[in-house]
Structure 1
Amino acid sequence: MSVTPRQVKNKRNQDGVSTSRTGTVYDVFIRYKTDEGYKTYGKRGFLTKQEALNHEAEMRTKLTRPGYQPLQTAESKQTVKEYLETWVENHGKANLRPSTFAGYKSHIKNHILPYVGNVPLKQLTPAMLDNMFQKLFDKGLSQSTVRYAQRILSVALEAARKYRYIETNPARDIITKFGKNGKTPDPYTVEQMQRLMCNCIGTEWEMIIVLSGMYGLRRNEVLGLRWDNVDLKNKTFSVVEQLPYKVPPGTMIITEMAPTKSNDRILPITEITLPYFERQLALQQKQKELAQLSGQEYYDNNLVVAKPNGAPLRADRVTNNFGQMLRHLEMPHIRFHDLRHSAATNMHQLTGDFYTVGEILLQTLKLSPLSTWMCGWTEKRPCWTPTTMPCIRKKL
């Protein structure tokens, strides 16, 4: 054998200090072949058999492959918890968006570390990960949540492999299979969007549905649109910023917005949507006047969509209340983001041009294609008046 035990009278501990006791140490001897013939390598005095076996495997590979780089010994002794916490801070802040970074940290803390956090990084195996995924499924987590945890581990452990902390990436060798967690909701048809808009006229949802369902703005782009970027005279508005991710509860004043995910874009305010903008501006001016007359504070963030006191809406509250509103209207369930998908799908059906859709959602757009889409969107619409149609008064 390449690893042999040996009895010593005075065994030393891991710090090299004599224990004055007899014990067993392990020696490594390797005989390997080179172009010049057979050679031998030896190292004595390993405290445990596992250390000797690890060294034997590493040196056998190194001696037979001259270009091999050994593992970083100090880093390879750390636990999975120590490695992931360091990796996500170094990698996340430099390469991930704030929302993705927060998602990585949350999944690592809640779905990974409780199961394999104390395992030494070098001893992590695919079997351990498969066992962890099964426990997450048994806990009732969805396929997408467990798969996201696997994805984070795969990326993180691949970095550890490249850093030479581990030999292989165990997350790549798992046998757990991930299927789709149900069908993605179908986007709303033109008729369904008409029905939704019909029931939102005169409510807090009116401007939100116009911006997301007709223009395809993302949720935080809707909540971060300011009147400074709306030009009613020239009938355009610019999507150049969005509400920051995770605004703390109770925030009244937004001092700085976040950049948008896609390119800055300028969109036209058509004859169909102009009344919505004008009505929203008049409503907010009236709310401001009433707040001043009643002695209440008004937080003038200059937002197109805001609370009655001018404070920003919470993004998560909008998402949750949107689902409640759909249930109240007995309409098919979709996510709030699916309003953007609905806008894209219906735009393509009414214009027949994929390029136009991309221009609307991502870049600067000319007036005529969007006018065509909105005219088609409002054809044969019911009479949208608050006095004749039921309205949803769900507070945001």
Structure 2
Amino acid sequence: MGKRANGEGTVYRRKDGRWTASITIGQGRRKYLYVATQKEAIKAIKEINNLKDQGVILASKDQTVAFFLETWLQDTAQPRLRPRTYIRYQQMIQRQIIPAIGNVKLQQLSPQHLYRLYNGELHKGYAPQTVKHVHRLLHRALHDALRWGLVVRNVCDAVDAPRVPRSEMQVLNAEQAKHFLCIAQRDPLEALYVLALTTGMRQGELLGLKWADLSSDMKKLQVRRTIARIGKLGFVVDEPKTAKSRRNIYLTDIAIDALKRHRVHQHEQRLQMGAAWNDHDWIFCNQLGNPLEASNIMRRSFKPLLQKAGLPMIRFHDLRHSAATLLLTMDVHPKIVQELLGHSTITMTLDTYSHVLPSLQAQAVTRLNGLFTTSASGH
């Protein structure tokens, strides 16, 4: 028996228990979508009505990949994306996808089109990881197109994304990490590096810290935001990467001491600048109290310190990897490391730091040998 949903369209249950959403899409044509629940069917009707209002559905037979992706990005994806991801999607669509397959009719898009796109980008010198990001974008967009009945399948499911070789992770060992922090002692950003190596926080999380995020005794901080400069948007304050990224972190004594020194230095700078100081409560800021730019940190502080210390030219993000690796080699449980890093799952932690596991296994075998050797000698 049919049921009217909110807006134009009909929702009814099939004999096999699934639900059908039926809606007129112009010129006497009806679109039928088959979903698992009544709620999904009503939601599909609403989404298609929205697309009809935008003129997308009515032109579905003739619309191109370019038209669909631009409309999808602006009207559907943008509200769900972080600002940085939106900018990256926009660049991939305009610079890579549209020049290659933008004129192809959406309903005629084939696996061959995608293979030509991917191979062409690889031949231009784009890294496999970059091309894989293009594949993920297309898969996400075509997933929505399939739900809306614009295509009969997601062609990305029939295409293998480029294989990304696993790169060797560059991390600082314990001696290198201590040496780096020793060299950084007189740097204005010493506290930033101490926190990076003792908490494993992401750079955007560190730069997004405010003094209000610290407990009164400075023994604990809250990760509640990130900040980064994103193209023409300027500095963008955003939510942490995932729900698990919103976390509380207990601080080491060395981190507390570094933050205390940093606060004294910042207070002196604030007095010196007077009315020119912008009080936004950032822990890490420039001489006027404004947010720090990641590129300036790399160029003016981090790389010079690495060079002075005689250490490899690692990325700032590798301080996070170094922190995690050091913790795991110290037998800290992977679940604790996951929570400290803000990973969404423990699987992500174990996969990311699988290079540590062989040494941990070797330590475990040594301990078992000691345990059973001692037991055997006692009998």
TM-score range, shorter chain: 0.5 to 0.7
Alpha carbons 2:226, 2:240 under 8 Å: kept: yes
CA distance in 2, matches of 1:331, 1:220: 23
Q: What is the distance in 2 between the residues matched to 1:301 and 1:178?
A: 44
Partner Cα separation in structure 2 for residue 286 and residue 153 of structure 1? 51
Q: Report matched runs for 1:190-229 at 5 Å.
A: 190-229=174-213
1:32-71 superposed Cα distances (whole Å, 9 cap, x missing partner): xxxxxxxxxxxxxxxxxxxxxxxxxxxxxxxxxxxxxxxx
Q: Distance in 1 between matches of 2:214 and 2:273?
A: 24
Q: 1:258 to 1:164 in 2, by over 3 A?
A: closer
2:255 corresponds to? 273
Mapped partners of 2:161, 2:220: distance in 1: 49
Equivalent residues of 1:137, 1:146 under 8 A apart: yes
The 2-side partners of 1:147 and 1:325 are apart by: 34
1:360 aligns with 2:344: no
What's 1:168 paired with?
153
Letter of the 2:196 counterpart: S
**Counterpart secondary structure, 1:210:** helix
Q: Which has the larger radius of gyration?
A: 1
The 1-side partners of 2:308 and 2:319 are apart by 17
CA distance in 2, matches of 1:237, 1:160: 43
- 2:265 maps to which residue? 283
> Partner residue of 2:86?
101
- Alpha-carbon displacement from aligned partner over 1:177-197 (angstroms, at most 9, x marks no partner): 622245142332212211221
Q: Higher mean Cα deviation, 319-328 or 230-239?
A: 319-328
Structure 2 CA distance, aligned partners of 1:145 and 1:134?
Answer: 12
The percentage of aligned residue pairs carrying the same residue is 28
Given that 1:73 and 1:165 are in contact with CA atoms closer than 8 Å, whether structure 2 keeps it comes out as: no
Amino acid at match of 1:210: V
Q: Deviation at 1:320?
A: 5.9
- Return closer, same or farther for 1:73/1:362 CA change in 2, 3 Å cut-off: closer
User: Aligned pair in 2 of structure 1 residues 315, 290: CA closer, same or farther (>3 Å)?
Assistant: same
Taking the TM superposition and a 5 Å limit, the aligned residue runs for 1:171-186 are: 171-174=156-159, 178-181=162-165, 183-186=167-170
SS in 1 for 2:248: strand
Which residue is 1:85 aligned to? 70
Structure 2 equivalent of residue 41 of structure 1 = none
Shift of 1:223: 0.5
Q: Is the CA contact 1:121–1:166 (under 8 Å) kept in the aligned structure 2?
A: yes
Q: Secondary structure of the equivalent of 2:276? A: coil
Distance in 1, Cα, partners of 2:291 & 2:188: 13
Structure 1, unaligned runs of 5 or more: 1-71, 364-396
Alignment-derived partner of residue 350 in structure 1: 330
Q: Deviations over 1:177-232 (max 9, x none)?
A: 62224514233221221122122111133111111111111111111111122235
Q: Deviations over 1:305-338 (max 9, x none)?
A: 1112211112344356645654565423433222
Rounded to whole Å, the distance in 1 between the matches of 2:312 and 2:240 is: 29
**Which amino acid in 2 is paired with 1:160?**
A
Q: Is 2:134 aligned against 1:149? A: yes
Task: Answer yes or no: is 1:158 the counterpart of 2:143.
Answer: yes
- Amino acid of the residue matched to residue 208 of structure 1? L
* TM-score in terms of structure 2 length: 0.67
Match of 2:99 among 114, 128, 133: 114
The alignment's C-alpha RMSD in Å is: 3.0
Question: Per the alignment, in what secondary structure is the counterpart of residue 186 of structure 2?
Answer: coil
Deviation, structure 1 residue 250 = 7.2
1:303 aligns with 2:282: yes
- Structure 1 pair 150/323, CA: closer, same or farther in 2 (3 Å)? farther
Equivalent residue of 1:237, what SS?
strand
Q: Distance in 2 between matches of 1:170 and 1:301?
A: 48
- Residue 334 in structure 1 maps to residue 314 in structure 2: yes
Contact 1:240 1:259 in 2 (8 A): yes
Q: What one-letter code is carried by the residue in structure 2 that aligns with 1:167? A: V
The secondary structure found in structure 1 opposite 2:264 is helix
TM-score (norm 1): 0.64
Deviation at 1:100, TM superposition (A): 2.1
Runs of 4 or more, structure 1, over 6 Å off, are: none
Structure 1 distance, partners of 2:177, 2:332, is: 19
Q: Structure 1 residues 236 and 166, CA, compared in 2 at 3 Å: closer, same or farther?
A: closer
Partner SS for 2:164: coil
Q: Please tell me whether residue 75 in structure 1 is matched to residue 51 in structure 2.
A: no
Matches within 5 A, 1:15-54: none
Provide structure 2 residue ranges, at least 5 long, that are not aligned to the other structure.
1-56, 344-379
- Could you tell me which amino acid in structure 1 is paired with residue 202 of structure 2? R
Aligned residue identity for 1:342? S
Name the CA shift for 1:193/1:345 in 2 (closer, same or farther; >3 Å): same
**Contact 2:328–2:334 (CA<8 Å) still a contact in 1?**
yes
